[in-house]
Amino acid sequence: MNNDVDNLNYILTHCREMKETIDLFGDDETVFMENSTYQRACSFSIAQIGEAVKRLSQELIKRYPEIQWSFIAGMRDVISHGYHSINLGKVWLSVSEEIGPLRETCERILKDIS
């Protein structure tokens, strides 16, 4: 469980960094689609989150099925290995709609297991 705490905190760090990136560039899909620096910053954080998700225990993953853990891990694989085939629309969807709920759930999980 201690490893889960470390990995959840790592996920939260990258959720916060992504929020800072959004605050810097703006919450606008057009800006995201036109700015490769914005795209890379968010993609890096998504990849790091996905890597940490892969290290979470199966016990924790089963206990919190409301999060699509396998989708998050899969996004990491696409970003890390997809090279020129990354769908920026899906990345934006993750950034704009999924990171906030993920952050909130990870904070709740940390409270539950502490």
State yes or no: is 81 an active-site residue.
yes
Please enumerate in sequence order all residues whose Cβ is within 8 A of that of 96, keeping only pairs 6 or more positions apart, or say none.
22, 27, 29
For 6-43, b/e burial (b = at least 16 CB within 10 A) is ebbebbbebbebbbebbeebeeeeeebeeeeebbebbb
Structural domain boundaries of the chain?
A: 2-113
In this prediction the pTM is 0.91
Share of the chain above pLDDT 90, in %: 83
Is the per-residue pLDDT at 1 higher than 70?
no
For residue 80, name the pLDDT band (cuts at 50, 70, 90): confident
Phi and psi (nearest 5°) for 23? -60, -35
Q: Which of 16, 55, 63, 81 is catalytic?
A: 81
Q: Which of 76, 84, 103, 108 is catalytic?
A: 76
Residue 99: CB atoms within 10 Å: 21
Is the per-residue pLDDT at 78 higher than 90?
no
Q: Which residue has the higher pLDDT, 85 or 105?
A: 105
For residue 87, name the pLDDT band (cuts at 50, 70, 90): confident
> pLDDT tens for residues 45-63?
999 999 999 999 999 999 9
State yes or no: is 108 an active-site residue.
no
